[in-house]
Chain A
Amino acid sequence: MVDVTLARKSAPSGTFSWLFARRGRQGFDWSDALTYGFLLLGVLVMFTPVLWVVISSFKTPANLSEFPPTVLPYSAERVEVEGYAQPLPLFEVAGEDGEVRLLAQIRRVGLNAQMIDPQDVEAGPFTVPVASAVPLRQVNFVLENYTNLLVGQGGDIWRYVYNSLFITVVATVITLIMNSMAAFALSKYKFRGRNVALLAILATLMIPATVVLVPTYLIVAQLGLVGNLWGVILPTVATPTGVFLLRQYMLTIPDELIEAARMDHASEWRIFWRIILPLSSPALAVVAIFSILSRWNDFLLPLIVLNRREVFTLQLALASYQNENEIRYDLLLSMTTLTALPLALSFIFLQRYITSGIASTGIK
């Protein structure tokens, strides 16, 4: 008896049980409806634009400029006709007698179009008013945007990918080392002015990045790093949030461990590398994620420092697809999708650390 009731009460088990979790695990409460409604709204608000971009990146330029826009990518159906080099677009043409015929368009002249019957090439081309012809279309995810992007323009995109990757990886590695060393000193050594130093570091959080943009540029220029990837990497390798987050985490590492290591003949460097760093890995992961995100998406600093096309990052290249004359929506959309992909992947794999890390920054 007990077993039966227990079994009935227990929530659906398995990986996706959280999807159907309910309040009190019995029946469907009105608060459940509210909760799910709210969450659904959130999902729609967050995901519709992303989904729109991804779907649109598979549309042809003609399809993109259509009004009203279509949800799914459509393209005209084409057919090979003997005697014509290119495949011709198909149209449904209503004749004067009301009969609907499938015709291929050769060319369009004003309000009329020259068409040919693909079934009956012998009959030769004839003229049809455009008004009576409806293009025959089907859902078609075209990959041209991507192939144009990756292969076209002399493969410039790969240079941008390299630049972005180089900046992200190198800057993140340096950021982790610099921040963790500062955090180690601030959390585990007692010295005069320790709290002043920490406060000074935290105080820089109150200065908006845009305010220091020009001074930063001037320093970079003085160092001769304009147009150089290092000019983007170096100015922001030390982040106050990173130092603070790591310091707070390192405070939780017991001092006895460090004392034990010291008695074990470990130098301070070795204590840092062998004891402190491995034990702070959860906090390091969080700092790494924040750094990867901000570096990959960074726009303003690269925009002013990287002034040549060869050193453009992906974000700069993206921006360069729109100028005063035209906006290359096809390239813009496909590149946006590709650019967001690494971040989406890193989020999926590092989600665990992000949630735990953000939670810990809130508590301590």
Chain B
Amino acid sequence: MAKLVLEKVAKSFGLVNVLPGVDLDIEDGEFVVFVGPSGCGKSTLLRLIAGLEDVSSGDILIDGDSVTHVPAADRGVAMVFQSYALYPHMTVRQNLSFGLENIRMQRPEIERRVGEAARLLQIEQLLERRPKELSGGQRQRVAIGRAITRDPKIFLFDEPLSNLDAELRVLMRIEITRLHERLGNTMIYVTHDQIEAMTMADKIVVLRGGVIEQVGAPLELYNQPRNAFVAGFIGSPRMNFVEGTIGEVSGETFTFTSPDLPAMTLPRRTASLAAGQKVSVGVRPEDLIVSKGKGSGWPVTVSVAEQHGANSYIHCSRPNGEPLLIHQPGQSAVERGDILNVSPVPARWHLFDASGLRIEIEPGQEMAPPILHTAIQ
């Protein structure tokens, strides 16, 4: 049972205000991922929760008790560090039991817990080795094992997979997810990799410049990003943004014009639109309808067609030179220099105002479910 509440948690290093004030509730048993570009304060926030840094102001509550002034060791949290931070001169067994020896736990209990953690992570045969004799993935397991033996209320992971190669990262991702299912503890995971965030999280917290931009389930963030930053950050490859102005607004539709593109008539799904308003239309690469030759959409020129076999990524450029990416399932027949006509899939586009905030859709005008593309018509 561990519910974590952050109340206006602020942190500044000297004159640099890293976190202006964060409010966040994390429910018991949740897998929460802090994600954001580097320098957004996500690691600092984790270290504040761990107790490795002191908060400048605000309060941290675990199960309703303030732990702001409780030393790191007594907060009931365990941390897995980016560099693993295994003690290099100790064997794996000693690494796992060091924390338990420090609280003068009985030998048999230490043995039992170490054995259990080792079995859970399948590192039993490595117990007598030293960290430098282990591979990256094995070290990662030992670091997680060290956290498990302490039986914490909350697990904290600080970019734990960033030192692993791509293949191992996928494996460990699944493994940590399974571990969470088995242990059921609250876990907080920091990463800059939005794929990790999307695949592992129950709840994603997107941070920018120390401010929480949006909190929500992965697909909620994907489908209803609150602003252009979240829309661009979540999802890979990035969402395409087309800036322009609103032309005519009629009852059912409005026209959207961009200086280099022909005007496009889009269904109006919200009341708060005014002619002449500066907006940008966001369309994910997979939400573009493509047709060859003349049409009513935006004309773009193919600059590179990446064929991944199962997927095709078509990098195009708009008449003004700005890039536009199209994702198509399967293999594509387009070639460099082809002119394509693209238009957003109905109800799969987002509208952001000049400040980047999402222009909300009115109730009853929900986003359409994502559709599967067929080959080029």
Contact = CB atoms under 8 A, between A and B. Distances in A.
Interface of A: 254, 256-257, 259-267, 270, 274-275, 278-279
Nearest to B79: A263
Residue picked from A254, A256, A279, most chain B C-beta under 10 Å: A256
A259 B73 contact: no
A263 B50 CA distance: 8
Given A265-B99, A266-B98, A270-B102, A260 B85 contact: yes
A259 B77 CA distance: 13
Contacts of B83: 254, 256
B222 interface: no
B367 to A, nearest CB: 43
Contact of B98 (A254, A264, A267, A278): A264
A266 B102 contact: yes
A175 to B, nearest CB: 22
18 contacts: A254-B83, A256-B81, A256-B85, A259-B72, A259-B79, A259-B81, A261-B87, A262-B72, A263-B50, A263-B72, A264-B73, A264-B98, A264-B99, A264-B102, A264-B146, A265-B73, A266-B99, A278-B89
B103 interface: yes
Interface of B: 50-52, 71-73, 77-79, 81-83, 85-89, 98-99, 102-103, 146, 150
A179 to B, nearest CB: 20
Contacts of A254: 83, 85
Contacts of B51: 263
Contacts of A260: 79, 81, 85-87, 146
Contacts of B98: 261, 264, 266, 274
Contacts of B103: 265
The 7 closest A-B pairs by CB, nearest first: A264-B99, A260-B85, A265-B102, A256-B85, A265-B73, A278-B89, A256-B81
Given A264-B73, A265-B102, A265-B103, 14 more contacts: A254-B83, A259-B79, A260-B79, A260-B81, A260-B87, A262-B71, A262-B72, A263-B79, A264-B102, A264-B150, A266-B73, A274-B98, A275-B87, A278-B89
A256 B150 CA distance: 18
Listed residue (A254, A265, A266, A279) with the most chain B CB atoms within 10 angstroms of its CB? A265
A274 to B, nearest CB: 8
Contacts of A270: 102
A279 to B, nearest CB: 6
A259 B52 contact: yes
Nearest to A278: B89
Nearest to A257: B85
A257 B88 CA distance: 9
Given A254-B83, A256-B81, A270-B102, A263 B89 contact: no
Contacts, number: 55
Contact of B87 (A257, A263, A265): A257
A263 B51 CA distance: 9
A269 to B, nearest CB: 11
Contacts of B86: 260
- Central interface residue in A257, A267, A270, by most chain B CB within 10 Å: A257
A259 to B, nearest CB: 5
Contacts of B79: 259-260, 263
A279 B85 contact: no
Nearest to A267: B102
A257 to B, nearest CB: 5
B188 to A, nearest CB: 14
B184 to A, nearest CB: 21
A217 B79 CA distance: 53
B186 to A, nearest CB: 16
Contacts of A279: 88-89
Contacts of A278: 89
A266 B102 CA distance: 6
Contact of A262 (B73, B89, B146, B150): B73
B195 to A, nearest CB: 25
A267 B98 CA distance: 12
Max chain B C-beta neighbours (<10 A), residue from A262, A264, A270 = A264
- The winner among B79, B102, B146 for most chain A CB atoms within 10 A is B102
A279 B88 CA distance: 8
A279 B85 CA distance: 13
Nearest to A264: B99
Nearest to A254: B83
Contacts of A274: 98
Contacts of A266: 73, 98-99, 102
Contacts of A261: 87, 98
Q: Name, among A263, A266, A267, A278, the residue most crowded by chain B CB atoms within 10 Å (CB to CB).
A: A263
A259 B88 contact: no
A192 B81 CA distance: 28
B78 A263 contact: yes
Nearest to B102: A265
B131 to A, nearest CB: 11
A93 to B, nearest CB: 75
Contacts of B85: 254, 256-257, 259-260
A279 B86 CA distance: 12
A70 B102 CA distance: 68
Contacts of B88: 279
B73 A263 contact: yes
A118 to B, nearest CB: 71
A276 to B, nearest CB: 11
Contacts of A267: 102
B202 to A, nearest CB: 24
A260 B77 CA distance: 12
Nearest to B83: A256
Contacts of A263: 50-52, 72-73, 77-79, 99
A296 B43 CA distance: 51
